[in-house]
Amino acid sequence: MSLYRSCSFCVLLLLHVHSIVFGDTLNLTAVEPADRPAIQSSPVFKPGAPGSLGLLASFPEDLEISAYCSEMLLIFGRRYDTYVNCLVPASRPVRVCQNCYSSYGSLREIYNNISSNQMGPGNESCGDTLLRSDRLMLVYQLYSNLKDLWGESSCERCITAGFQSLTNDTLYFMAILNQTNACFQKYQQGNHTELCTNCKNTYVAMNELYSGMEKNLTLCIDIEDAMNGTRKLWSKNFNCSLPREETVPVIAVSCFMLFLPIIFYLSSFLHSEQKKRKLIHPKRAKSYSSLMNIQDKQS
pLDDT tens column, 46-87: 554 555 455 545 555 545 788 889 999 999 999 999 999 999
With beta carbons less than 8 A apart as the criterion, state whether 198 and 183 touch: yes
- Residue 91 bridge partners (DSSP): 94
Helix (H), strand (E), coil (C) string for 214-240: HHCCCCCHHHHHHHHHHHHHHHHHCCC
Instruction: Say what the pLDDT of residue 121 is.
Output: 74
Question: Radius of gyration (Cα) for the chain, nearest Å?
Answer: 50
pLDDT at residue 138 greater than cutoff 80: yes
**Torsion, CA 75, CA 81, CA 82, CA 84, rounded to 10:** 140
Q: How many whole angstroms separate alpha carbon 266 and alpha carbon 273? A: 11
Q: Regarding predicted confidence, which is higher, 39 or 213?
A: 213
Q: How many whole angstroms separate alpha carbon 66 and alpha carbon 295? A: 133
**Torsion, CA 91, CA 97, CA 98, CA 101, rounded to 10:** 120
With beta carbons less than 8 A apart as the criterion, state whether 69 and 126 touch: yes
Instruction: Say what the pLDDT of residue 242 is.
Output: 80
Sign for the pseudo-dihedral over CA of 13, 15, 16, 22: positive
CB atoms near residue 170 (< 10 Å): 22
> Please, which pLDDT band fits residue 257 given cuts at 50, 70 and 90?
confident
pLDDT tens column, 156-209: 999 999 999 999 999 999 999 999 999 999 999 878 899 999 999 999 999 999
Q: How many whole angstroms separate alpha carbon 199 and alpha carbon 193? A: 10
Instruction: Say what the pLDDT of residue 296 is.
Output: 58
Instruction: Say what the pLDDT of residue 31 is.
Output: 40
Share above pLDDT 70 across residues of the chain, in percent, rounded to a whole number: 63
What's the rounded mean pLDDT across residues 244-257? 64
Tell me which residue of 21, 132, 191 sits closest to 199, measured CA to CA.
Answer: 191
What's the rounded mean pLDDT across residues 213-227? 96
What's the rounded mean pLDDT across residues 127-132? 88
Q: How many whole angstroms separate alpha carbon 141 and alpha carbon 285? A: 100
Using CA atoms, how far residue 227 sits from 209, 264, 269, 299, in Å, is 10, 47, 55, 99
Q: Which of 87-91, 118-122, 129-133, 293-297 has the lowest mean pLDDT?
A: 293-297
Helix (H), strand (E), coil (C) string for the chain: CHHHHHHHHHHHHHHHHHHHHHHHHHHHHHCCCCCCCCCCCCCCCCCCCCCCCCCCCCCCCCCCCCHHHHHHHHHHHHHHHHHHHHHCCCECCECHHHHHHHHHHHHHHHHHHHHCCCCCCCCCCCHHHHHCCCCCCHHHHHHHHHHHHHHHCCHHHCECCCCCCECHHHHHHHHHHHHHHHHHHHHCCCCHHHHHHHCHHHHHHHHHHHHHHHHCCCCCHHHHHHHHHHHHHHHHHCCCCCCCCCHHHHHHHHHHHHHHHHHHHHHHHHHHHHHHHHCCCHHHHHHHHHHHHHHHHHC
- Average pLDDT in the chain: 78
